[in-house]
Amino acid sequence: MDGTIILVLLAVAFVFFVVKGKKKQVASKPTAKAKAKAPTVGELKKLTKNQLVELAEKKNLKVKKSGAKAAVISEIREQLK
């Protein structure tokens, strides 16, 4: 009787640690689908208009090159949301 109680306790402890270990492994993995943060308005204002247009081209965004710098910034922010 004492032997079976010990075996049951050991089995329960084993299952507990196996399940707990799997939860830690899943939680520690970074998500690959994490969305890149859109640059803030302050970060975009530090760039020149030409740099903003280049950034838009790299990210495949449509912006008017003839527009004012503020218009280009707002178009980039809208499309990155």
Tens digits of per-residue pLDDT, 24-77?
555 555 554 555 677 888 999 999 999 999 999 999 999 999 989 999 999 999
Closest CA to 70 of 54, 47, 39: 47
The whole-angstrom separation of Cα 26 and Cα 50 is 43
The domain in which residue 65 lies consists of 2-80
pTM of the predicted structure, to 2 decimals? 0.55
Give the Å distances, CA to CA, from 41 to 24, 30, 38, 75: 37, 27, 9, 11
- Per-residue pLDDT, 10: 86
Higher pLDDT pick, 3 / 48: 48
Structure tokens at 4: 């079976």
> In which residue are the tokens 């803030």 written?
40
Q: How many structural domains comprise the chain?
A: 1
